Chains A and B, each alone.
Chain A
Amino acid sequence: MQAKAFMRDMILSELEDIVGVENVSTGDSEMLAYGVDYFWIGRMWADRGQKLPVPEFVVRPKSAEEISRLLKVANYYKIPVHTWGGGSGSQGGALAMAGGITLDTKRMNKLIEIDEKSRTITAEAGMVFQQLEWYANERGYSCMHIPSCLTCGTVGGALAHRGIGIMSSKYGKIDDQCLQMEIVLPNGDIIETLPVPKHAAGPDLNQIFIGSEGTLGIITKATFKLFEQPESRQFRAFMFPNLTEGLAAGRDIMQKIKPSIMRLYDEAETTSIIKKIIDVEEKGNFMNVALEGIRRIVDIEMEILCEICEKHGGRDMGSEYGERWYDNRITFFYPGHIMDIPQMFGTMDTVSDYKNAEKIYWAMKNAIESNFPGVRFIAHCSHWYEWGTMIYDRFILDTPPQDPDEAIRLHNQIWNTGVRAAMANGGVINDHHGIGLKLSRLMKEQYGPAMQVFEGLKKSLDPNGIMNPYKLGL
């Protein structure tokens, strides 16, 4: 016992030697801040007085070099390292489930370069994404990665779980927007991906680390595309008679034009959340579309949009509803508007091709509502691709069990049921929130024997298994 305590002090002084005494924390109260991320179970634990999963040490490095030295120490002592950006991830990905070290990246928040010639921006990975966007805005550009967690998630966090913003249908996901990265490997080596992402020099190194959720290394720097601010952004809302027509319209729109925002709500969400916010008092499937860019082009796109929606029975509701939604888009996430404890809830964001999308929606809805009485299921499609869409399906239970163990059991059963229904019908486990702790157990079911590719990578890059244990099925 005494020997262990002595080792703790030795390790602490090694960590302090690397990042400075003021950038290592061990205080019990400070650790609490790292014991809860946006994952429902973490919040429930905090609410019900359960012990929180906290690390023993928090380190706040300032550079890739410091991270490199930290990982060498962690590897020597075989101490787990959990990377924490903003802690705003909803999958429990940043929680220190194995104790050890939490590496908070937020001191690594420098802007490195804005290259107006190539239209790129490079920053350290601990920068809050809003700050990166402001730097771009100062020069008249935008990164066009505008998620609802813009003000809380970091650059590294967005990359680590393959995040997405509300403009994704036109400007892409974070994995489309990122051009290059610097990564510190678990053994402390600092590597850079190739200067540009399109090449024929083997598999795409970027895409190995994007989405790796801190299990294969720590992203320390990233370069993104910059876009000119659009000359015009125009909204239009439609009410479709049913989901089938709404989805078909969405597909046709993606084939012909590129909306930035396109959101199609199921009837349950149209008549609940949407009704509250934009005051639409009718049944059907509400769709809100934004077109943007050069005004002349947008005007033409608008004509095409209206033609497509009319063809699919979408009633034109004009621009006002979309504008109102846009003005309120952040309000949804503040206390009092967003779902919160004591409710139990989860967002299953499934992604699939158009052929399966509606089938998956009904399969998930039926599986959840029939197996779990009292659980509501609502959904919308808010990220569209040429070949398919993301179904942002949420379950809500107003009065979950009080007992934390029972609550976890029910929570996981609902998740298993919903996700398995999606996978059985051709859907993919997650579109943009990532896997984390929440879905870790389902990764093998999703990938089957293909999982060995990730396991092989993990084994060779992180032989001691110190990087973010229990996450991503690794």
Chain B
Amino acid sequence: MLSQIAQKHADACRFCWMCRHLCPVGLQTGKEANTPRAKGLQLSLTQRGSASFDANMAEGMYECLLCDACTNDCVTGFEPPLYIREARTQAMVEDIAPAPVVQVLDNIERTGNIYGEEKPTFPSKDNAEVLLYVGEVAACRVPQLAEAYMRLLDKAGISYMTLEQEPPSGAMLGDLIGFTQEVQDQGAACVKALDASGADTVIVLDSYDAAVMRQRWPEWGLSAKAQIITATAFLDQLVQEGKLKLRSLNQTATYHDDSRAARTLQEFEPPRALLAAAGIALSEMFLHRDLAKCCGSSLANAYMPQITLLTAQGRWHDALRTQAQLLVTTCPQSMELLGRAVPQDMELIDLYTLLERACE
């Protein structure tokens, strides 16, 4: 069932206890099955024919945020998400994925996004050199983040466009069913749309999209003509070039690195540079940068909201122990997730809305 390489990784994990302390799902649910070791063990037993890959096991494979905290910790370079994604493919093939997962798949197939809704569009100019790729979470659930970003671009004098029919990048579907041909086809359609726009720079708001575009597309032989840059890195450039002037807000905040920015893209400095430029003193959470604890993904939230409420609470618990009463993030998915569990006396804000205040 697993590819050779995935089997090798599962076999390595099956008797290894080393990285479980970082698993946001394991920590919050307290389930032994929600440890990389247990998932590796279960799959290795199926490979040896001594357990069957059943609906119960499939359900466990979906109780993972694919956040790579385990991978990042692994001194010997093993990657649980590799075999967990493949197990998800298998669950789909064998028709044993949990019903809420199948519902999300149905949503994607019908509408291109996990919510099964029509995706809102945003104002756009024709033939701009810069294209803003909004992504489904910002568009459907956190439009204020996207709009604040657009106003910052306006302030910096950047002419940009958006796509009226923005195709999915493959990030969500790839996490849901593994990197199948269908996902690669989604990526290819997205490349085509980006190329057709004529933009020479694509700014990506959601790091999950940016991660798939930068890491997976090349693996699938896909490459967009435009340069792909995250929204935060682009903004940091504008500030450095003096195109966007920020005044000091003189506040203290803590910053949440989302898992794809932190571990796939390894992009920690641009948001911190922007916070510093806006006079925000940073009170870091104990686990930050590449160690940041994932608060949950929008995809996981769509099919296991009880567990993602726990993971969001887990991250707030970290924030509450800092000196800050303000938690900043650039990630639309984190805005959706953390927004479900804001503790009393804490404020959640996206970086772009905060920077807008510093522009006034």
Contact = CB atoms under 8 A, between A and B. Distances in A.
Contacts of A108: 30
Interface stretch (B41-49, B151-159, B213-221, B232-240): B41-49
A86 B32 CA distance: 8
A72 B229 CA distance: 59
B75 A138 contact: no
B306 A27 contact: no
Contacts of B174: none
Contacts of B41: 32-33, 36, 46
A31 to B, nearest CB: 9
Contacts of B45: 32, 46
Interface stretch (A262-270, A299-307, A334-342): A334-342
Contacts of A49: 48-50
Given A36-B41, A335-B78, A60 B18 contact: no
Interface stretch (A128-136, A234-242, A283-291, A386-394): A128-136
A47 B20 CA distance: 21
B6 to A, nearest CB: 15
Contact of B15 (A29, A34, A43, A50): A43
A36 B321 CA distance: 36
B80 to A, nearest CB: 12
A144 interface: no
Interface stretch (B54-62, B195-203, B254-262): B54-62
A87 interface: yes
B76 interface: yes
Contacts of A46: 14-15, 41, 44-45, 50
Contacts of A60: 29-31
Contact of B76 (A47, A58, A334): A334
Interface string A322-361: 0000000011011111001100000000000000000000
B76 A138 contact: no
A88 interface: yes
Contacts of A126: 30
A32 B32 CA distance: 10
A29 B57 contact: yes
A141 to B, nearest CB: 13
Nearest to A129: B21
B38 A33 contact: yes
A22 interface: yes
A30 interface: yes
A271 interface: no
Interface residues of A, number: 48
Nearest to A108: B30
Nearest to A26: B56
A152 B17 contact: yes
A337 B76 contact: yes
B16 A87 contact: no
B302 interface: no
Nearest to A23: B30
B17 A149 contact: yes
B16 A335 contact: yes
Contact of A109 (B20, B30, B31, B50): B30
Contacts of A33: 31-33, 35, 37-38, 41-42
Contact of A151 (B17, B38, B44): B17
B42 A29 contact: yes
Contacts of B15: 36, 38, 43, 46, 335, 340-341
A395 interface: no
Contacts of A107: 29-30
Interface string B64-83: 00000000001110100000
B44 to A, nearest CB: 8
Contacts of A377: none
A334 B12 CA distance: 9
Nearest to B17: A152
Contacts of A128: 20-21, 27
Interface in A43-68: 43, 46-47, 49-50, 58, 60
Contact of A86 (B16, B19, B20): B20
B321 A25 contact: no
Contacts of B78: 335
B322 to A, nearest CB: 9
Given A30-B56, A335-B78, A138 B42 contact: no
A156 to B, nearest CB: 13
A331 B15 CA distance: 15
A28 B26 CA distance: 19
A186 to B, nearest CB: 22
A198 B129 CA distance: 74
A131 B50 contact: no
A22 B30 contact: no
Contacts of A28: 51, 54, 56
A331 B50 contact: no
B56 to A, nearest CB: 3
B286 A137 contact: yes
Contact of A25 (B12, B31, B75): B31
A465 to B, nearest CB: 25
A182 interface: no
B20 A330 contact: no
B195 to A, nearest CB: 43
Given A32-B45, A106-B32, A335-B76, A152 B20 contact: yes
A333 B17 CA distance: 9
Contacts of B76: 334-337
A415 interface: no
Given A33-B42, A49-B49, A86-B17, A106 B75 contact: no
Nearest to A126: B30
Given A86-B20, A128-B20, A34 B75 contact: no
Contacts of A431: none
Nearest to A134: B286
B286 A138 contact: yes
A319 B147 CA distance: 57
Contacts of B13: 335
Contacts of A30: 31, 33, 56-57, 60
A213 interface: no
9 contacts: A28-B54, A30-B57, A104-B30, A106-B32, A128-B20, A128-B21, A130-B21, A151-B18, A335-B12
Which 4 A/B pairs are nearest by Cβ-Cβ distance? A107-B30, A27-B56, A106-B30, A152-B17
Interface of B: 12-22, 26-27, 29-33, 35, 37-38, 41-42, 44-45, 48-51, 54, 56-57, 59-60, 74-76, 78, 286-287, 306, 321
Given A30-B33, A108-B30, A334-B16, 4 more contacts: A126-B30, A151-B21, A152-B20, A334-B75
